[in-house]
């Protein structure tokens, strides 16, 4: 039976493909305040603005390409049972070929109803634009399949279950500041081997059980190949 590797990935891995990170030093995302575009209240206040914003993010995602780090995790599947638990709303892991991806915060390439029972069905979006005239089967406008601030994280229980029997945990591209996702590292067993990859790894608050690699996602690929016997 193949050993199980769970990869907890964040914005840093997507940034190396040219996708803007959700938070930066000035607290803005593409010059918008988070409260203007990433909360249920923002949708209620100005759904057209929110729709335009995510259309542009979707266009950016579609123009980006997976980087060597994404492809490495696909390569790992040849020897390990690999599950990606990502905080990212892009589909770069899937486009690199990873076959088991859990999106904690949704997937921008899909939409869902803005009415009741939003998580019952997701609708693939053709192209990059979602129109105000696009409706779910119950007649409600479609909204991005993205978990906004103040909303529950539907995939959290599935992620916890996935982590509980991991042989290895790789944390990559995330500063572990966004909860509840950051708390997932506490659900692995004591025997799980843990690796943290971040250029500022020494500044992140993780326990001594973690092996730290102070590099970017792409620059860490050769180190990971050595660790997992793919060099």
Q: Within the chain, where are the H helices?
A: 11-15, 34-37, 40-45, 47-63, 68-76, 92-95, 156-164, 221-227
Query: Could you give phi then psi for residue 109, rounded to 5 degrees?
Result: -80, 0
Query: Do the beta carbons of residue 43 and residue 50 sit within 8 Å?
Result: yes
Query: 70, 93, 103, 105: which is the annotated catalytic residue?
Result: 105
Annotation marks residue 105 as catalytic: yes
- Minimal CA–CA distance to 93: which of 14, 147, 195? 14
How far apart CA 139 and CA 205 sit, in angstroms, is 46
- Output the six-digit token pair for 73: 């995790």
Distance of CA 144 to the CA centre of its chain: 15
Q: Within 96-165, where are the H helices?
A: 156-164
Q: How many residues does the chain have?
A: 231
In angstroms, the first-to-last Cα distance of the chain is 21
Q: Report the catalytic residues.
A: 105
């Amino acid at each position: 039976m193949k050993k199980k590797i769970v990869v907890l990935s964040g914005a840093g891995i997507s940034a190396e493909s040219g996708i803007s990170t959700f938070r930066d030093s000035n607290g803005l995302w593409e010059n918008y305040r988070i409260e203007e575009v990433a909360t249920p209240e923002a949708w209620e206040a100005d759904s057209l603005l929110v729709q335009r914003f995510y259309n542009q993010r979707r266009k950016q995602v579609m123009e980006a390409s997976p980087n060597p780090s994404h492809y490495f995790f696909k390569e790992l599947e040849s020897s390990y049972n690999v599950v990606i638990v990502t905080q990212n709303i892009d589909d770069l892991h899937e486009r690199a070929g990873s076959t088991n991806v859990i999106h904690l915060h949704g997937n921008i390439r899909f939409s869902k109803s803005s009415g009741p029972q939003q998580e019952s069905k997701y609708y693939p979006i053709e192209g990059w634009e979602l129109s105000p005239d696009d409706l779910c089967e119950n007649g409600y406008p479609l909204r991005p399949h993205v978990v906004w601030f103040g909303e529950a994280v539907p995939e959290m229980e599935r992620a916890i279950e996935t982590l509980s029997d991991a042989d290895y945990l790789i944390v990559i591209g995330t500063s572990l500041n966004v909860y509840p996702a950051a708390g997932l590292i506490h659900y692995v067993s004591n025997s799980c081997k843990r690796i943290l990859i971040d250029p500022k790894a020494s500044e992140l608050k993780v326990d001594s059980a973690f092996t730290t690699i102070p590099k970017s996602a792409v620059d860490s690929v050769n180190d990971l190949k050595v660790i997992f016997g793919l060099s």
